[in-house]
Structure 1
């Protein structure tokens, strides 16, 4: 009977999933980038400038449509499919955003919704000229983030969420800087510099966790942590190898490297009937040196 296996050190909490990381990153970016992205358009600037609540309407509409687009992209079954959904869906979202934003600004300006449908139609028509190209650009930028999350789901590993966290951090850092520098005097619902600061923090956190995981694995390989050990999967015993791998994730994304090693947790049990503590497999890892030694030992 296998001993109870504790969580592998530096594994992310169960609530920190790639999809949640992406959605949490998209919302503030959309709110920060919505106005700078359209401030160069005279008609849009005239409809928003000086209108109380117009900035909030534009930011809210952009954020909601961005969430809908990302959720649609995250349901893709391939990495390429996520990219295509973001780019093509982004163009449609850009058209809808123009209509919803203009209609919402009209409600805020007039204090009544009687002209909502007419403003939506006018905005959607104009969206074909401006909204579609802008939405295409937003979608292409979102594709970087969505593709990272879909890859983490299709090729799962213990470091998958941390990889997405690092990508999201760099994505926010660059996106926030571009949003602020693109049109300096544009009003914003959320400061792009705050997005830059959050992005930098997330990127550092994700990278630090990945480095700490690799450093810990090196200590395990050196025998520093007696609770854990590395063992090679024996290719001459297919059934045993498959049993070890069943339900286990790679500790680090393989990247084409064979997962020929197993990370084992050794329970701290000692009695007169046992010569060694029982162990339970916890994760897969690439151990080319140990694998070749196991082959030689037969």
Structure 2
């Protein structure tokens, strides 16, 4: 991966697709697939609430260099995946079912999982299931206790996001504000995120890549503290926990508890970031690659 986040020549890159199912209707599940498709050493990288799989381009290519195949899906309602007809389905149970469907589609016996925010919660639930294929788990700035105030703020940002931008330049300015907690990024990195966060409209201009209804579960009056400690205690695999040092969603005391309970995660705090570190910076990527190591 070069400094602009562009694919490096010689690293295979494919766009894949399978189907999920919800309430009597199938929907597309899109993913980006890096590396040798026959490689049994697979890392699955899953994004946060309003993001998509291309956030992991830089990490994916670093992992391919260590001998892995890397699969980066778009959760339903995001990116190239289909939208759900019932907004109430935009919740963890459906996401977990869809990612289980994807894993079956990939036909691999074991995976390592990297999940940012919502993607970390999905990984936690899959890793805690009986007969799980998850061998190792990297959780980026999320935990089994979610305080209501930052959840409400996330919902507010989703509801207030403009549905249309006249240019990519105005879209990028909005993105830089909305995702400021990702930490310091280069202009090239912001442009990479922008190019995959907005899609051109037929009549001109650009729209966000996601279904606005993903914010319905965060509507006023529906957001409370969330406790998932039982799910955390069910995880048995090794866990690397990343925390933005200024994160309000993964509190310092919650992160500390995660190192003491359940799988007893290894904690690494990343300075200069809130929720959640973008995993675009080489030093952040190195934290993940050093922990996973070369594919065995």
Larger Rg: 1
The bucket for the TM-score relative to the shorter chain is: under 0.3
Larger % of helix: which? 1
TM-score scaled by length of structure 2: 0.24
TM-score scaled by length of structure 1: 0.24
Larger % of strand: which? 2
